[in-house]
Amino acid sequence: MFAAGRDSAALLQYEACCFYGSSKSEKTTALFNKSLVYKKLGYYEQSVFTLKRLLKFNPEVNLKTEIYYELALNQYLGGLFGESLISVDSLRIFENNNLSEEASLIEIFALNELGGYVKSSKLAEEFVNRFIPDKQKDSVMLAVKAHWNEKNFPRLKNQKTAMILSRIVPGSGQIYAGYTFEGVFNLLLQSACLTYGIFEFWHGYYLTGYVGGISLFTKFYIGGPGRARFLVQKTNYRRTKSFNDRAVDLLIRK
């Protein structure tokens, strides 16, 4: 069914096999294959749900090992990094505390995504010692140690700080987030709106002062903290992704 590309039909067929199957083995195999179809389609949440259904059948130990690996992988791919680490810990029990190469990578990358760089650096060095061929081991180890140097850890911005700055001085939150031009423009724009509003009020033009000045200033001022928070998230994502992408390049052999 995979080869033919009839993924939707395969999902229905596997569910039918689970429902009408006469043996536990038939049902568990059907559910496991269904989770693989979901993963292939990029439906990681559905794959995780299916794998958790499968665990309720209390499958054999060998299948449990595969289930927890697939759980960890799908949770990682779906952005559930904390849950992925929990699944890796469960997998470690079935692998006698000796994770496979693939599971070790998931653990390292999930820790990176959560900012656990100190722990992931130790695991990365263990990974090199266990899985990298001897001819490449020294060079890869040097690269890993250089990459996981504390000086290279992503310097993340604080969302609350950005929001507070925006409330104190309009535009300063954007500048803090690394968007200097936008921050300066925002400050000038709000200053212009406020100045225009006061000027119009001073001369008795209350309607134009409110609509063209005070009202616009209020909208920009209220929206400023939210915009600053979004930009901090964007900056943090970019910095984290750059660090993590480099880690992937170092540890995954092409």
Q: Cα–Cα distances in Å, from 243 out to 21, 41, 108?
A: 47, 28, 13
Q: Please check whether residues 21 and 145 belong to one and the same domain.
A: yes
Is residue 252 one of the residues assigned to a domain?
no
Count of other CB atoms within 10 angstroms of residue 176: 22
- Parent domain of 174: 159-245
Per the structure, the count of domains in the chain is 2
* pLDDT the model gives residue 253: 66
pLDDT cut 70: percent of the chain above it: 97
**Does the pLDDT value for residue 76 go beyond 70?**
yes
DSSP character at residue 169: S
Residue 187, C-beta contacts closer than 8 angstroms, at least 6 positions apart: 169, 170, 171, 172
Residue carrying structure tokens 């901090």: 232
* pLDDT the model gives residue 127: 95
**Does the pLDDT value for residue 5 go beyond 70?**
no
Alpha helix ranges (H) inside 114-171: 117-131, 134-147, 159-168
80-113 pLDDT tens trace: 999 999 999 999 988 887 899 999 999 999 999 9
Q: Please check whether residues 184 and 67 belong to one and the same domain.
A: no
* pLDDT the model gives residue 174: 93
Q: Please check whether residues 234 and 207 belong to one and the same domain.
A: yes
Q: Please check whether residues 148 and 86 belong to one and the same domain.
A: yes
pTM value is 0.78
Is residue 179 one of the residues assigned to a domain?
yes
* The one-letter amino acid at 48: V
DSSP character at residue 22: S
Last residue of a domain, one of 137, 154, 171: 154
Q: Please check whether residues 109 and 136 belong to one and the same domain.
A: yes
Is residue 253 one of the residues assigned to a domain?
no
* pLDDT the model gives residue 10: 78
Count of other CB atoms within 10 angstroms of residue 201: 15
DSSP character at residue 94: H
DSSP character at residue 151: G
206-241 pLDDT tens trace: 787 777 778 888 888 889 999 999 999 999 999 999
At 137, which CATH number?
A: 1.25.40.10
* pLDDT the model gives residue 102: 93
Q: Please check whether residues 205 and 135 belong to one and the same domain.
A: no
Q: Please check whether residues 195 and 230 belong to one and the same domain.
A: yes
**Does the pLDDT value for residue 35 go beyond 70?**
yes
Cα–Cα nearest to 43, from 90, 18, 17, 7 = 7
* pLDDT the model gives residue 116: 93
Q: What is the mean pLDDT of the chain?
A: 88
151-172 pLDDT tens trace: 989 988 999 999 999 999 999 9
Is residue 250 one of the residues assigned to a domain?
no
16-34 pLDDT tens trace: 877 777 788 888 888 898 9
Q: Are the beta carbons of 151 and 167 closer than 8 angstroms?
A: no
* pLDDT the model gives residue 254: 43
Q: Please check whether residues 59 and 185 belong to one and the same domain.
A: no
Which comes out higher in pLDDT, residue 213 or 191? 191
